[in-house]
Homo-oligomer: A and B are copies of this chain.
């Protein structure tokens, strides 16, 4: 089955080898224009003129695609009216559609802003009315031809070759707004384009239409450059109003929903704002390693990075395709993961027996010397593999893993604290930052913790904790300002669908200095609260619970709060001990709705204090030698902080489940691609 429109309708290849020229010439074959004129009674005289004398392009094309981003049409302040008469190519995926018989079809009201459903297709106003049985009956009785047809209607229209027009609302991910593109059944069999999720690349002219007393634009398509069809029965986004939770089970389509696309644009803005902020302030970006051989907290579960599991597959997977084929092609051919696990010692031993038999046969037949040599080499490989497997089994039986045989010759982990390696660069380049993943193997609270999350890590040499606090506050404000300035449509959408307080909340972070309170003061404050009770007790040495954080940020201050001077037990060993011997110069920034969005501290730069703390905690010092070295040689007062990027997105969007705000959730038991 071809996925594209049948070519008879086109006088060019559906996949032109070269993309659209910057200046689109008039339709090359006059017959095509004629064809369009005949079959498009909707085409206004101005359009046919435009097709022959295209107006000057005043809308910018994308540099590497030839099409125009919908952002520059549908998200314009004038709704695109300034572009009427322009010939453009646009691409996108169908978010909703309407089909009308052509005979007397009045113009369908284009729906540009806002999309009517979080996910999937929109329901037009008339469709909604049509769902009311009595109205449907009346309409049917009156035999009105202009009610919107659904799938059956489309099929009927197509079967009868009834001339029809499809109104497709498409979106290309560049903005919230959709653009209505109008496809006549003379251009393409409409059944190919009338399914939610269909991809369209179309060329045409922007026209002005009236909708509910207001003028908007739509694209009158005269060339369909590409169609990628959809099977509505199998496409998961065909259904309307899917929950974010249900969307998570097909991560690969999530970005086609308006909510996830909006989050992606917000995340993009936040990322760019991060770089802009730090570059402007003289920080250097440093790539931090993901793989570390330093176990910074033996009490914390880790993700190991290993190749020990590969050993079982070595001769097979590690060797060239040729070798692999020689050993056990049929096993690999048939292999799903489960099958591949079956390549164990028994299988290999059986293969060796078979191969030895074959060698004997070859020796007897004496027919083909080359085949004999190949078979002998083959057995040799298999024997090596068997030996590896035997060694592995032996090691495993002893209950020990021999990390000296692993890729790095020692245990290696996914880094849970990228900030630690960043310190080495701060202690040389002074002001540094990084953006990247961090890994926490949390078992509980899947809605709050991800195995893999994004973080901004910052480290400043010659800086005290107050500097880090100030920098963190400015950084968060800068991210929020940028989102307010660049994502207003996304915020409006999130505001209408997720949390109507989100814009106010973001504005509040930008407008005033953050509140500041020490951990001890916070405890005192909780004691004084009489108008409510807390489920958990806030005691010295205990982490502030969600309800306590929430009380401070949502009720008491109603703005971000910096909590500082924590008891040393609550912070990592490298937080600088204060003179009182029981608190450290560490802080958290909590915000309404999302809790802790940033944590920072002045690092312990005194070698004696640091080693005492490590001993106190019983941590192995050997792996930390490099970290201690930074204090032994040219130590410097330095402070840093990390921003929990996902929590910031939760703060901005108002979403409650952290798995919904990342492109691909990775949490306990959840990683589906």
A396-446 contacts to B, CB under 8 A, are 396-397, 399-401, 407-412, 414, 421, 424-425, 427-431, 436-437, 439, 441, 443
A498, CB-defined interface residue at 8 Å: no
Nearest CB on B from A450, distance (A): 10
**Pair A3/B272 contact, Cβ less than 8 Å:** no
**Pair A306/B309 contact, Cβ less than 8 Å:** yes
A41, CB-defined interface residue at 8 Å: no
Residues of B within 8 A of A437 (CB): 287, 289-290, 436
Residues of B within 8 A of A425 (CB): 255, 264, 663
**Pair B344/A663 contact, Cβ less than 8 Å:** no
**Pair A93/B634 contact, Cβ less than 8 Å:** yes
State which size class the interface on A falls in.
35 or more
Residues of B within 8 A of A429 (CB): 172-174, 255, 261, 264-265
Chain B residue nearest to A421 (CB atoms) is B664
A300, CB-defined interface residue at 8 Å: yes
**Pair A91/B672 contact, Cβ less than 8 Å:** no
Chain B residue nearest to A619 (CB atoms) is B335
Please, what's the 1-or-0 string for A334-377, where 1 marks a CB less than 8 Å from any CB in chain B?
A: 11110111001100000000000000000000000000000000
A64, CB-defined interface residue at 8 Å: yes
A9, CB-defined interface residue at 8 Å: no
**Pair B463/A19 contact, Cβ less than 8 Å:** yes
**Pair A291/B332 contact, Cβ less than 8 Å:** no
A197 CA / B309 CA spacing, docked (Å):
43
**Pair A305/B414 contact, Cβ less than 8 Å:** yes
A437 CA / B452 CA spacing, docked (Å):
14
A321 CA / B570 CA spacing, docked (Å):
12
A93 CA / B461 CA spacing, docked (Å):
11
A209, CB-defined interface residue at 8 Å: no
Please, what's the 1-or-0 string for A6-35, where 1 marks a CB less than 8 Å from any CB in chain B?
A: 000000000111110000000000000000
Number of copies: 2
Which of A108-116, A129-137, A161-169, A276-284 is the interface stretch?
A276-284
**A272-B275, A293-B673 are contacts. A333–B633 as well, Cβ < 8 Å?**
no
**Pair A309/B298 contact, Cβ less than 8 Å:** no
A378, CB-defined interface residue at 8 Å: no
A443-469 contacts to B, CB under 8 A, are 443, 451-452, 454, 460-464, 466-468
A249 CA / B17 CA spacing, docked (Å):
51
**Pair B335/A464 contact, Cβ less than 8 Å:** no
**Pair A19/B632 contact, Cβ less than 8 Å:** no
Looking at A19, A252, A312, A474, which has the most chain B CB atoms within 10 Å of its CB?
Answer: A252
Nearest CB on B from A614, distance (A): 12
A645 CA / B287 CA spacing, docked (Å):
11
A636 CA / B623 CA spacing, docked (Å):
50
A435 CA / B337 CA spacing, docked (Å):
29
**A3-B606, A293-B673, A672-B626 are contacts. A424–B281 as well, Cβ < 8 Å?**
no
Please, what's the 1-or-0 string for A231-271, where 1 marks a CB less than 8 Å from any CB in chain B?
A: 10011000000000000001111111000010011011001
**A91-B636, A284-B264 are contacts. A623–B337 as well, Cβ < 8 Å?**
yes
- The 8 Å CB contact of A199, one of B282, B411, B636, is B636
**Pair B464/A18 contact, Cβ less than 8 Å:** yes
**Pair A291/B400 contact, Cβ less than 8 Å:** no
Nearest CB on B from A446, distance (A): 12
Chain B residue nearest to A295 (CB atoms) is B337
**Pair B287/A301 contact, Cβ less than 8 Å:** no
**Pair B324/A299 contact, Cβ less than 8 Å:** yes
**A294-B673, A306-B306 are contacts. A64–B467 as well, Cβ < 8 Å?**
yes
**Pair A267/B253 contact, Cβ less than 8 Å:** no
A407 CA / B303 CA spacing, docked (Å):
9
Nearest CB on B from A420, distance (A): 9
A153, CB-defined interface residue at 8 Å: no
A106, CB-defined interface residue at 8 Å: no
**Pair B464/A618 contact, Cβ less than 8 Å:** no
**Pair B63/A281 contact, Cβ less than 8 Å:** yes
A123-167 contacts to B, CB under 8 A, are none
**Pair A462/B91 contact, Cβ less than 8 Å:** yes
- The 8 Å CB contact of A321, one of B299, B303, B396, is B299
A543, CB-defined interface residue at 8 Å: no
**Pair B305/A431 contact, Cβ less than 8 Å:** no
Chain B residue nearest to A280 (CB atoms) is B63
**Pair A671/B291 contact, Cβ less than 8 Å:** yes
A607 CA / B231 CA spacing, docked (Å):
13
Looking at A256, A290, A629, A631, which has the most chain B CB atoms within 10 Å of its CB?
Answer: A290
Could you list 8 A-B pairs, sorted by A, with CB under 8 Å? A62-B281, A62-B431, A173-B284, A199-B636, A228-B634, A255-B428, A293-B672, A421-B664
Closest 9 CB pairs of A and B: A173-B429, A255-B428, A396-B396, A228-B635, A333-B618, A91-B462, A199-B634, A252-B424, A289-B664
Q: Known pairs A3-B635, A337-B410, A345-B399. 17 more at Cβ < 8 A? A: A15-B464, A17-B464, A63-B281, A63-B470, A63-B471, A64-B281, A66-B467, A201-B462, A201-B637, A235-B634, A253-B629, A255-B425, A293-B672, A299-B321, A341-B401, A344-B400, A396-B399
